[in-house]
Amino acid sequence: MNRWIAFWSILAKDMRAYYLKPPNISWGLVFPIAWTGMFFIRTGEGLGSIQGLLPGVISVSVLFGTTSMLAVTITFEKKNRSFDRLLLSPISLELLMFAKTSGAILFGIANAFVPILIASFLVDLSAATWSLIIPSIVLIAVSSTFLGLFIAVSVSEVFEAQTFSNFFRFPMLFLSGLFFPIDRLPAFLRPISYALPLTYGADILKAGFSEASVIPRYISFIVLAVFCMVLYMLSLRNIRRKWIA
| Average pLDDT of the residues in 86-106 | 87
How many domains does the chain contain in total?
1
Separation of alpha carbons 106 and 19, rounded Å: 9
The pLDDT, as a whole number, for residue 221 is 95
Calpha distance 148→67 (Å, rounded): 4
Q: Is the pTM of this model over 0.85?
A: yes
- Rounded CA-CA distance 71/81 in Å is 16
DSSP 86-114: HHTSSS-HHHHHHHHHHHHHHHHHHHHHH
pLDDT digits (tens, 9 = 90+) for 65-91: 888 778 778 887 887 777 777 877 778
Task: Determine the structural domain holding residue 208 and report its residue range.
Answer: 2-244
